[in-house]
């Protein structure tokens, strides 16, 4: 028997404020057509004043627990993927733990920018398989609207705020690719590309939060190549091929990257979950958001093979293959 980390429930939360592309037309030298044609984004959500990353993560966590039919007491730990925490410390995961009324287990943050949820998912899976936990809440939550340069039309139109969560539960499997749950993962980082996508602030450098900076064309080239490669590596580890993938749930960076990666893998777009038009790029929240939205729409069937992949600042990138 092999212990597998199975998705018991999903949940998500989006702030009430919806920001259409027309909002940027009024403030920048840009148009709705320009944004749509280059990114596929039509609207995004921004957190309200005073609404923190942990507030949204808590809402998504509660929704995932409800979907799983579980209570906070049933959870052994929380792993939160975020690059926009409430505070330098403590971890925003502990704020979510407190909000759930949990006084047991672990709670900590993982920071791998847009790839954060994939890293957090693999981390939680490893702890479950090692016997350190049976059930783990894995959350992605971001407030990227707080680190935008609103004069840079190449970046500020891309990002939105939101949160998504999954409940992972350890269940016995046969140790084959037919098992439910996480089958394989692949994680990578390479700091030589750190200046392609970063925030120009920090506690030990400027003492400020800073603003996001990105070399978009170079990020695009690296993204398509590295996402396709990590996906193939994870599928090989799982003993599967791209033809056996039922759903690709990618990081929702922009429609061009998603389409190019799917084409490079030979996957038709009707097998790709796309939420970027409505959410924008929500960084570490994008994959759990997309998973939860698709799950709520009944798009996943038991036994479906789901491939997730993401790339973010660092550069950091990776993928997780699971069976629903």
Contact by Cβ (8 Å): 319, 118: yes
pTM attached to this predicted model: 0.98
Q: Is residue 251 annotated as a catalytic residue, yes or no?
A: yes
Annotated catalytic residue, options 114, 156, 222, 254? 114
Q: Is residue 217 annotated as a catalytic residue, yes or no?
A: no
E strand or H helix that includes residue 126: helix 116-129
Query: Residue 117, Cα to own-chain centre: how many angstroms?
Result: 4
> In this structure, are 54 and 122 located in the same domain?
yes
Q: Tokens at residue 143, please?
A: 């407030």
**What range defines the domain where residue 222 resides?**
181-323
> In this structure, are 7 and 34 located in the same domain?
yes
> In this structure, are 156 and 203 located in the same domain?
no
> In this structure, are 209 and 96 located in the same domain?
no
> In this structure, are 13 and 113 located in the same domain?
yes
- DSSP calls for 209-266: ---EEE-HHHHHHHHHHHHHHHHHHHHHHHT--GGG-SEEEE--S-HHHHHHHHHHHT
Contact by Cβ (8 Å): 161, 47: yes
Q: Phi and psi (nearest 5°) for 89?
A: -155, 155
Annotated catalytic residue, options 21, 123, 254, 281? 281
> In this structure, are 35 and 133 located in the same domain?
yes
Round to whole Å and give the CA distance between 78 and 85.
Answer: 15
> In this structure, are 57 and 130 located in the same domain?
yes
> In this structure, are 27 and 126 located in the same domain?
yes
> In this structure, are 138 and 240 located in the same domain?
no
> In this structure, are 47 and 124 located in the same domain?
yes
Round to whole Å and give the CA distance between 133 and 161.
Answer: 30
CATH number at residue 106: 3.40.47.10
Among 151, 173, 195, the domain boundary falls at 173
Which residues neighbour 52 within 8 Å (Cβ) at sequence distance 6 or greater?
86, 92, 95, 143
Count up the domains in the chain and report the number. Answer: 2
pLDDT tens for the 324 residues of the chain, in order: 899 999 999 999 999 999 999 999 999 999 999 999 999 999 999 999 999 999 999 999 999 999 999 999 999 999 999 999 999 999 999 999 999 999 999 999 999 999 999 999 999 999 999 999 999 999 999 999 999 999 999 999 999 999 999 999 999 999 999 999 999 999 999 999 999 999 999 999 999 999 999 999 999 999 999 999 999 999 999 999 999 999 999 999 999 999 999 999 999 999 999 999 999 999 999 999 999 999 999 999 999 999 999 999 999 999 999 999
> In this structure, are 15 and 153 located in the same domain?
yes
HSE on the CB side for 323, CA within 13 Å? 18
Contact by Cβ (8 Å): 258, 280: no
Sign of the alpha-carbon torsion through 37, 40, 41, 42: positive
Annotated catalytic residue, options 45, 222, 251, 279? 251
> In this structure, are 22 and 148 located in the same domain?
yes
Cis peptide before 170 (omega within 30 of 0): no
Closest-CA residue to 27 (of 161, 142, 149): 149
Which residues neighbour 281 within 8 Å (Cβ) at sequence distance 6 or greater?
41, 114, 144, 158, 159, 160, 251, 252, 253, 254
Among 173, 191, 225, the domain boundary falls at 173
Place of tokens 């403030």: 27
């Amino acid at each position: 028997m092999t212990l597998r980390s199975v998705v018991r429930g999903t949940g998500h939360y989006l702030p009430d404020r919806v920001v259409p592309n027309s909002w940027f037309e009024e403030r920048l030298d840009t148009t709705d057509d320009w944004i749509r044609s280059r990114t596929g984004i039509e609207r995004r959500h921004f957190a309200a004043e005073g609404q923190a990353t942990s507030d949204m993560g808590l809402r998504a966590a509660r929704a995932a627990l409800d979907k799983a039919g579980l209570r906070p007491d049933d959870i052994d730990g929380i792993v939160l993927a975020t690059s926009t925490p409430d505070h330098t410390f403590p971890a925003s995961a502990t704020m979510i733990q407190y909000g759930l009324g949990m006084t047991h287990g672990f709670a900590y943050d993982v920071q791998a920018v847009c790839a954060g949820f994939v890293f957090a998912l693999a981390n939680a899976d490893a702890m479950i398989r090692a016997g350190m936990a049976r059930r783990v809440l894995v959350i992605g939550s971001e407030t990227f609207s707080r680190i935008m340069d609103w004069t840079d039309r190449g970046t500020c139109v891309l990002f939105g705020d939101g949160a998504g969560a999954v409940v992972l539960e350890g269940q016995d499997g046969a140790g084959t690719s037919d098992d439910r749950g996480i089958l394989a993962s692949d994680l990578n980082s390479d700091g030589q590309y750190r200046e392609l996508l970063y925030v120009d602030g920090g506690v030990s450098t400027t003492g400020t939060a800073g603003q996001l900076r990105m070399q978009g064309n170079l990020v695009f080239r690296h993204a398509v190549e590295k996402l396709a490669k990590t996906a193939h590596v994870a599928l090989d580890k799982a003993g599967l091929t791209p033809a056996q993938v039922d759903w690709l749930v990618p990081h929702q960076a922009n429609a061009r990257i998603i389409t190019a990666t799917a084409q490079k893998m030979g996957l038709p777009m009707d097998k790709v979950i796309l939420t970027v038009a409505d959410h924008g790029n929500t960084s570490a929240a994008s994959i759990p958001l997309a998973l939860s939205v698709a799950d709520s729409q009944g798009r996943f069937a038991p036994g479906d093979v789901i491939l997730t992949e993401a790339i973010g600042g660092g550069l950091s990138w990776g993928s997780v293959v699971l069976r629903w």
